[in-house]
Structure 1
Amino acid sequence: MTPYTAEGILALLTKLCAIASISGHAEQENACARLIYDELKSIPCAGGNELDVKFIACEADALKRKAVYALLTPAQPAPRTVLLTGHFDVVDTACYGELKELACDLPALTRKLRELGGLAPEAQADLESGNWLFGRGSMDMKAGLALFIAAIGRYAAQESLGVNIAFLAVPDEEANSAGMRGSMREFCTLLAERGIKLNAALTGEPCFWTKATSETPAARPYYTGSTGKIMPAFLAVGQGAHIENYFNGLSSALMISNVVRTLEASPALQERTVDGVLLSPAACLSMQVRRDSYSVTLPERSAAYFNVLCVERTPLEILQICRKAASAAAMETLAAVGRAARAYGKSVPLPAIDVFTVAELVQMRAAQTHASKEAVMEELRAFAQSVPSDLDAREISLRTFEHLADCVRLAKPAIIVGFVPPYYPALYNRNRTEDEKRLRRIVMKTVEEAGRLAGDGATSYTEVFMGISDLSFLGFQGEEQALLALKDNMPGWGVAYDLPIEQLLSLDVPVANMGPAGRDAHKDTERLELRYSLEVAPKLLVAAIDEIARG
């Protein structure tokens, strides 16, 4: 077992990082799962404590990856349970260039970087300080997992353990969160079989050192929530015509470009966190004409999808905003064509452009075929399954968009509004329940104590993590209808993407980060702050767990 010491945690971190468990590399991800499983199985229990350790096969995962579940329970039933969770996959190492082969060997990479020098000033200063360990997965987030595994060993040795500790380590967080999404049903079932209710969830994600600004100093941030993310998508269906007869048709490329102009960085989708921080604006991640070869016909199909961050807004609310944007884009398209026609001395009738949601097209298809909505959804799933499974999930969804439009046989140009994968529900501490209030107090105390123990006061609190994390899948803070709007408007649901909706609606777990600290996640200078992560963070974690246990 791994001792709960700086040396023990560092040794386990080095072993975990030595496995290059890059997202999508199933063999290595499963090898890392095996190491975590073996480490947990090696933990002895004292005083009648029990530690149950299992693999969870990630549901609907074509790569057949595994998550690792554990549950530590005392001899005498404990009323309260804390979840320790995190991911063991890492991002690619290509950015390391010639040092790629050393990227997962933390001591060797750090030594080599000292020999070479020449890093950016901040990274070079950290390197020369001797207080930072460089390498892929060092801070994002295998140090957090090493800390958690060692903590389970510490608590398993307690004669009078007064809390249940659940553990879940998953693959694929860095890609599509297939690990967390695919393990939640079985994870919840395993807890339910033991009569376990979660009172708090702590992630081993690190405190990502912030950059100093003119207003705030650099700090290690702690948070009690995670930003949401949704991907609105649009399929523009135009009217084909040879380019010599431009005004006899309607270019879908023009239609979709107006959608992008309307929504890109649009204030209509602007949101602030609970503490007033503006989220990043909506951004188009893909805009494309949907054809495979050269043609002198006006494009009949074009598509675009956007990255939208959210805190309060539900999929249903965002769908309504996007529908209005599509209507505005349709009007601007017709106005632009009208202006162009006049400039060319043409008088042409302008076709109306309809705007539909995916759910509305499903209803139209059901009416046309005298079938149920469920039958049409099954038809779409069957089509999505026929698409090559090695394609990107967004491409599978877009092809299913197009298939639905083909089936309905739209008579006029149209813009279809829906979603493509992935979706991350926003999750934040609303300070309503006793568990939420308690965890908020614990995190506030952690921030104060962390600054004192570190000796620099460089810790801070923020309501939500401004990135995306698997914490999103520990509950949905909205009504079922709002979540079903996502399912009903994402073509390929159940194939390209899926969510454990029942579990999302049933869970209500306050969350916080309680891991190490580091800098430059996903970069070739990713690094872990050693003293804080190996000496301060372990004390903070124990204090937090003990406080949760007291209730």
Structure 2
Amino acid sequence: MQYEKGLLACREEIRDLTKKLVSIESIVNTEGEKEIARSIFELVSTFPYFEANPSHVTCEQTTKDEVERFNVLAFVNGTKGNSNRTVILMGHMDTVGVDDFNQLRDYAFLPDDWKEVLKNEDIPDTARKQLESGDWMFGRGALDMKSGLASNLFLLKYYAANPDELEGNIVFLAECDEEDGSHGILSALKILKRWKEEYRFNYVAAINSDFVSPRFEGDPNRYIYKGTAGKLLPSFLVTGAETHVGTCFEGLDPNYIAAELTKQINYNPDLCNEAHGEITVPPVALKQTDLKPTYTVQTALSAYTYYNFFIHSWSPKEVLDLLRGQAEIAFQNALSAFEERHRRFCELSNQTYQALPWEPRVIIYEEMEQMLIKAHGEEFTAYMTTFKEDLLKDETLDTRMYAASVVEEAWKWMEDKNPTIILFYSSLYSPRIEITGKTAEEEILIDALDQAVEEIQPVYEHPIVVKNFFPYISDMSFVALSDDTEGIEAVAKNNPGWGTKHFVNYQDIRDINVPVINIGPYGSDAHKKLELLEMTYSFEVVPNLTRLVIQKVLNSKSDREEIVS
């Protein structure tokens, strides 16, 4: 890449920073998360600006978290004018695990050594060419997303040394736990709110630096995203009618219904959400099991399944309504097939066929809870409160199995125990974010991004393409909200673990509510053994693009600010 006037020569420094960060085994939910936070805090504290302003950098433990870990936050006050406009640079420190490396796990954290090992490994031809080109770095977390974090660290150091280039402020955020429960960003919101009040920061934009990848085979584009897809985990507890397997048609196996449910939902294009010309991938099952604790010759009482579900424009409430319809179709299909097979069996065995006693029944959790409160009142609510508190003592239960256990227990109070599908949410909702220019600050950010890409594109060979929705899960989801109150309430009211095992203060997000884009490193095979990144784009284009966007956003003013000034 040819450096034009005004662009920063930063490749070597960001490369070395990336290697240093990769060498720290910061696998989510391990001691490594503490180690990398401490390392970043100590590094930032050595910058002369922060030696002179130690209160401008902090290492803060997450709150309401079962794991001890920390976020690192820092800020630089610009001296070019007296604007309070503030841009947030954010990225996560944790990685997924390295079980896929097997006996070579130690090399996962040593990019140079791992590269030498891979020269003698059987790897795909494309990866072989990238390995030999010299412009690609391999290693766990190199792409997802320590190179993006290294870019942000470089920019923090640069602006700390050159605050006169900032007409406003930047806030640096390195958060933990992105790969699991997002405790990092949800805890960091408290600090961002505190700084907003204490230092009168006007948060006008956030730039996330998570990785981007090709969208199809041979895709030459390097993507930047405005906003992000949302992600839900719709879950289904399926109850059946127990019977001995020797008289199988006298009962209804919930696994049979669950299998039909997965057939109906999995890979179903009707459940793709289109918005602004972009479409989500369809849902895929992440778990399907019955809830029998041990082997018996009785059919199971209940089964449990949940699905990854991406959204662009649908609200969590709309998804519940949509999936209720899909569950009703699946239930009817299961009963129709059951009836046909029962008839054939009766003909073969010379038995008298009897009509099925069941009809499809799908209930949303909120509805079932209200039914039980109406039927049993305080007795039910008091019992369930105690049950949930006692269930918290079982540390083997994650939020998903905790929610299933609550639904299963509540079901015992139902008077009508005919087979039923109960629909609920059992995990974190990562909200969707649409950046369309609907506000003055969104318009400023979009214009700044478009101008920055236009300036950088001539010095980089591959197309830089701006799209609307980051297609993966990221902490971008927790700095703004596009959902209304009704949509968020659908999450709270239909997650059985809400307020006990799981809780998100969405008001904290609304209090920040800053338009967010993603400018991140480019590569492929994140979360895989051959995770790799392109160094030219990641170490040169990304930081320079980000810097241009920062400058243009801070140098702009909304109409409201013009009136105030």
TM-score norm. by structure 1 comes to 0.91
Partner SS, residue 208 of structure 1: coil
Q: Which amino acid aligns with 1:479?
A: D
Q: 1:373 to 1:297 in 2, by over 3 A?
A: closer
Cα deviation digits, residues 413-451 of structure 1 (max 9, x gap): 221111111321111212211211122222223333333
Partner of 2:34: 30
Q: State the shift of 1:28 in Å.
A: 0.6
2:432–2:483 contact (8 Å) kept in structure 1: no
Inter-partner Cα distance in structure 2 for 1:376 and 1:426: 35
2:441–2:515 contact (8 Å) kept in structure 1: yes
1:239–1:300 contact (8 Å) kept in structure 2: yes
Q: Which amino acid aligns with 2:442?
A: E
Partner of 2:476: 471
Q: State the shift of 1:315 in Å.
A: 0.8
1:59 to 63, 85, 96: 63
Cα deviation digits, residues 40-65 of structure 1 (max 9, x gap): 22222299988611222222211121
Cα deviation digits, residues 80-104 of structure 1 (max 9, x gap): 1100001011122222334321111
2:419 to 413, 419, 431: 413
Partner SS, residue 317 of structure 1: helix
Inter-partner Cα distance in structure 1 for 2:513 and 2:311: 19
Q: Aligned runs of 1:62-461 on 2, under 5 Å?
A: 62-74=66-78, 77-114=82-119, 116=120, 118-160=122-164, 161-213=166-218, 217-274=219-276, 276-343=277-344, 344=346, 345-371=352-378, 378-379=385-386, 381-386=388-393, 388-454=394-460, 456-461=461-466
Q: State the shift of 1:379 in Å.
A: 4.5
Inter-partner Cα distance in structure 2 for 1:444 and 1:491: 43
Inter-partner Cα distance in structure 2 for 1:31 and 1:486: 34
1:354–1:413 contact (8 Å) kept in structure 2: yes
Q: 1:110 to 1:246 in 2, by over 3 A?
A: closer
Inter-partner Cα distance in structure 2 for 1:186 and 1:380: 34
1:419–1:491 contact (8 Å) kept in structure 2: yes
Q: 1:142 to 1:49 in 2, by over 3 A?
A: same
Partner SS, residue 428 of structure 1: coil
Matched length: 541
Inter-partner Cα distance in structure 2 for 1:50 and 1:349: 73
2:45–2:51 contact (8 Å) kept in structure 1: no
Q: State the shift of 1:77 in Å.
A: 4.0
Cα deviation digits, residues 383-420 of structure 1 (max 9, x gap): 4413x223333222211221221244543222111111
TM-score norm. by structure 2 comes to 0.89
2:50–2:57 contact (8 Å) kept in structure 1: no
Q: How well do the aligned residues superpose, as a CA RMSD in angstroms?
A: 2.6
Q: State the shift of 1:233 in Å.
A: 0.9
1:222–1:447 contact (8 Å) kept in structure 2: no
2:534 to 523, 529, 537: 529
Inter-partner Cα distance in structure 2 for 1:462 and 1:502: 28
Inter-partner Cα distance in structure 2 for 1:74 and 1:47: 17
Inter-partner Cα distance in structure 1 for 2:213 and 2:338: 49
Inter-partner Cα distance in structure 2 for 1:212 and 1:446: 27
Moved more, 69-78 or 435-444: 69-78
Q: State the shift of 1:206 in Å.
A: 3.0
Q: 1:112 to 1:403 in 2, by over 3 A?
A: same
Inter-partner Cα distance in structure 2 for 1:332 and 1:46: 65
Partner of 1:40: 44
Q: 1:210 to 1:288 in 2, by over 3 A?
A: closer
1:68–1:170 contact (8 Å) kept in structure 2: yes
Partner SS, residue 292 of structure 1: coil
Partner SS, residue 78 of structure 1: coil
Q: State the shift of 1:11 in Å.
A: 2.5
Partner SS, residue 446 of structure 1: helix
1:82–1:166 contact (8 Å) kept in structure 2: yes
Inter-partner Cα distance in structure 2 for 1:252 and 1:448: 57
Cα deviation digits, residues 197-238 of structure 1 (max 9, x gap): 31111012133245454xxx4121111121111111111111
2:28–2:180 contact (8 Å) kept in structure 1: yes
Partner SS, residue 243 of structure 2: coil
Q: State the shift of 1:373 in Å.
A: 9.7
Cα deviation digits, residues 163-196 of structure 1 (max 9, x gap): 1111221112122323223432343333333322
1:236–1:302 contact (8 Å) kept in structure 2: yes
Partner SS, residue 392 of structure 2: helix
Partner of 2:22: 17
Q: 1:146 to 1:377 in 2, by over 3 A?
A: farther
Partner SS, residue 109 of structure 2: coil
Partner SS, residue 235 of structure 1: strand
Structure 1 gap ranges (5+): none
Q: 1:225 to 1:23 in 2, by over 3 A?
A: same
Q: Aligned runs of 1:494-505 on 2, under 5 Å?
A: 494-505=499-510
1:362–1:373 contact (8 Å) kept in structure 2: no
Q: 1:406 to 1:229 in 2, by over 3 A?
A: same
Inter-partner Cα distance in structure 1 for 2:371 and 2:555: 56
Partner of 2:561: none
Partner SS, residue 423 of structure 2: strand
Determine what percentage of the aligned residue pairs are the same residue: 28
Q: State the shift of 1:20 in Å.
A: 0.7
Partner of 1:515: 520
Moved more, 116-125 or 31-40: 116-125
Q: 1:96 to 1:447 in 2, by over 3 A?
A: farther
Q: Which amino acid aligns with 1:356?
A: I
Q: 1:31 to 1:363 in 2, by over 3 A?
A: same
